């Protein structure tokens, strides 16, 4: 028996569980085994604001709030666990390889500036000259970039470790290798069965990434999520080369460079690296930064993103299923702080606030005629 069961100990479930514990709830996290697919361990680590929410202003506002909460969130986690999330927000660049792409960023900037929301939104377009001053060594095909002051990056491994340690430090339980195989509701409590045990709680949070499709059906709701494969390359450590992250190449605190990332809808749930995609990513990265030819690649990985039909998050609290909540998004690092510090308190209070009502999957229920 707990106050809340969270299914999924990835970036989304761990952030929510940590936040529920801060609200004084007793929390059990049920997670997959070590070899389970986890987007949380495969991602690029951007805390990215500039392009988030184009077409859904509530998501843009939610993202901006999440980025603004990140510094305090990192401080709380470090104070509690001693683990650094490696977060910094020096601004972020989207490099453009054609005038057409740069025009597209101008249009995006216009639309994003029109979104109301907390915090100033500071995005501007840099021509090639301005960009070269900021980032020496760009390739001849780079025509310019969009720069957003709110963008940043973090260490996904540090974040996940800090969240897991923070959950344990607050008295929460993380049960690994305990996949939920059946869900039900009895006498006002949610019952979750694993191969080994039965758990019960008045509050159940489904935060199992792509696993939410099956779990939602067990609980009686349709959560429209699917997987989208992405691959990333990692170089050896180098001295400081990139003072700020770009959307496709960033330098980690440790000095390695991450080169990303593919989008492979046809790959299904196969998360293995593949030679052709590695070659594509390397070639595109070299066009952006020709000096990368002097740096050795040391590693590559693949992962499966959790996507919704319009790529915006889905948060559910169906009125017909009291105590049930579901959360899915494809930007679990960007939104970690807002999940921990805003979404979790809403769940603890028993209802999602109107500010995120637009992020329910009801937005897909459009009549045919
Ligand atoms: C290539 C790539 C690049 C990315 N880049 C970024 C980025 O730059 N910035 C950013 O913000 N995000 C990025 N992401 C996305 C980010 O990693 C995800 O948003 C985040 O990890 C999703 O978290 P999640 O907890 O929903 O899912 P996951 O991390 O996949 O975790 C789901 C967890 O649920 C568990 N589970 C599943 N089914 C069950 C079950 N039945 N019972 C118990 N447990 C279960 C699994 O074991 C797993 O641990 C990227 C992802 C990929 C793949």
Check whether residue 139 and residue 168 sit in a common domain.
Answer: no
- Pocket mutation for ligand 1, best pick of 40, 73, 157 (most atoms within 8 Å of C-beta): 40
220 in the same domain as 240 = no
Q: Report yes or no on 61 lying in a domain.
A: no
Q: What was the pLDDT predicted at 245?
A: 98
The pLDDT, as a whole number, for residue 40 is 78
Q: Which of 273, 290, 307 is the last residue of a domain?
A: 307
Residue 101 placed within a domain: yes
Number of domains forming the structure of the chain: 2
Residue 349 lies in a domain: yes
pLDDT band, residue 121 (cuts 50/70/90): confident
Out of 39, 195, 273, mutate this one to test ligand 1's pocket (max ligand atoms within 8 Å of CB): namely 39
In this structure, the residue with its CA closest to atom 52 of ligand 1 is 43
Q: Note whether residue 178 is domain-resident.
A: yes
Kindly state whether residues 238 and 119 are assigned to the same domain: yes
Residue 43 alpha carbon to ligand 1 centre in Å: 8
Separation of 191 CA from ligand 1 center, angstroms?
Answer: 24
Q: How far is the CA of 8 from the centre of ligand 1 (A)?
A: 9
Residue 230: CATH number of its domain: 3.30.9.10
pLDDT at 153: 98
CATH number of the domain residue 338 falls in: 3.50.50.60
Residue 32 and residue 359 in contact, taking contact as beta carbons nearer than 8 Å: no
Domain assignment of residue 8, yes or no: yes
Q: Does 128 lie in the same domain as 250?
A: yes
Name the more confident of 203 and 41: 203
- Phi-psi category of residue 355: left, alpha or beta, with phi > 0 → left and psi -120 to 50 → alpha: alpha
Q: State whether 215 and 230 are in the same domain.
A: no
Mean pLDDT of 353-358: 96
265 lies in the same domain as 301: yes
> Residue 127 C-alpha to ligand 1 middle, in angstroms?
35
Query: Is 67 contained in some domain?
Result: no
Q: How far is the CA of 40 from the centre of ligand 1 (A)?
A: 4
Q: Ligand 1 pocket check: which of 38, 86, 192, 194 to mutate, most ligand atoms within 8 Å of Cβ?
A: 38
User: Across residues 271-279, what is the average pLDDT?
Assistant: 93
| 209 C-alpha to ligand 1 centroid (Å) | 5
Q: How far is the CA of 253 from the centre of ligand 1 (A)?
A: 22
Residue 291 phi/psi, 5-degree rounding, is: -65, -15
Atom of ligand 1 nearest to the CA of 305: 53
182, 216: one domain:
yes
Pairing, β 173-175 against β 27-30: parallel
pTM given for the model: 0.96
Q: What is the pLDDT of residues 290-328, one digit of tens each?
A: 999 999 999 999 999 999 999 999 999 999 999 999 999
Residues 119 and 220 in one domain: no
Last residue of a domain, one of 263, 281, 307: 307
Residue 117, pLDDT above cutoff 70? no
318-342 pLDDT, tens digit per residue, is 999 999 999 999 999 999 999 999 9
Q: Are residues 324 and 300 in the same domain?
A: no
71, part of any domain: no
Nearest-atom index, ligand 1, CA of 14: 25
Q: How far is the CA of 159 from the centre of ligand 1 (A)?
A: 13
Ligand 1 pocket list (CB less than 6 A): 7-13, 30-32, 36, 38-40, 42-46, 179-180, 207-209, 211, 215, 230, 232, 261, 303-306, 328-334
Residues 302 and 230 in one domain: yes
Atom of ligand 1 nearest to the CA of 181: 41
Residues 161 and 303 in one domain: no
Q: Supply the range of the domain harboring residue 102.
A: 91-147+226-307
Q: Has residue 136 been placed in a domain?
A: yes
Residues 136 and 257 in one domain: yes
Q: Which of 284, 307, 330 is the last residue of a domain?
A: 307
pLDDT tens column, 162-186: 999 999 999 999 999 999 999 999 9
Section 120-142 average pLDDT: 94
């Amino acid at each position: 028996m707990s106050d809340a069961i969270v299914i999924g100990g990835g970036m989304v479930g761990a952030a929510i569980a940590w936040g529920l514990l801060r609200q004084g709830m007793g929390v059990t996290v049920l997670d997959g085994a070590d070899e389970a697919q986890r987007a949380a361990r495969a991602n690029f680590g951007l805390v990215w604001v500039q392009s988030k929410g184009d077409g859904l202003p509530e998501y843009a506002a939610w993202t901006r709030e999440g980025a603004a909460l990140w510094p305090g969130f990192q401080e709380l986690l470090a104070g509690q666990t001693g683990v650094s999330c490696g977060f910094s927000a020096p601004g972020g660049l989207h490099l453009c390889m054609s005038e057409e792409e740069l025009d597209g960023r101008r249009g995006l900037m216009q639309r994003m500036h029109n979104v109301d929301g907390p915090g100033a939104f500071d995005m501007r377009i840099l021509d090639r000259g301005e960009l070269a001053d900021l980032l020496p060594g760009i390739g001849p095909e780079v025509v310019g970039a969009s720069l957003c002051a709110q963008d940043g990056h973090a260490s996904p491994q540090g974040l996940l470790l800090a969240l897991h340690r923070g959950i344990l430090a607050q008295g929460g339980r993380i049960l690994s290798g305990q996949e939920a195989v059946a869900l039900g509701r009895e006498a006002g409590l949610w019952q979750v069965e694993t191969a080994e045990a039965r758990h019960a709680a008045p509050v159940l949070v489904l935060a199992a990434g792509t696993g939410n499709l099956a779990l939602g059906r067990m609980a009686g709701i349709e959560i429209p999520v699917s997987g989208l494969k992405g691959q990333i390359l990692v170089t050896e450590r180098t001295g400081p080369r990139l003072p700020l992250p770009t959307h496709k190449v960033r330098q980690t605190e440790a000095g390695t460079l991450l080169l990303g990332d593919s989008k492979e809808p046809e790959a299904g749930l196969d998360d293995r690296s593949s030679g052709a995609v590695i070659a594509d990513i390397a070639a595109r990265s070299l066009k952006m930064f020709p000096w990368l030819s002097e740096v050795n690649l040391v590693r590559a990985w693949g992962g499966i993103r959790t996507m919704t039909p319009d790529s915006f998050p889905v948060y559910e609290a169906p009125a017909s299923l009291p105590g049930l909540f579901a959360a899915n998004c494809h930007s679990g690092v960007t939104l970690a702080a807002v999940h921990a510090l805003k979404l979790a308190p809403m769940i603890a209070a028993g209802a999602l606030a109107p500010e995120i009502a637009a992020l329910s999957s009801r937005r897909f229920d459009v009549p045919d005629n």
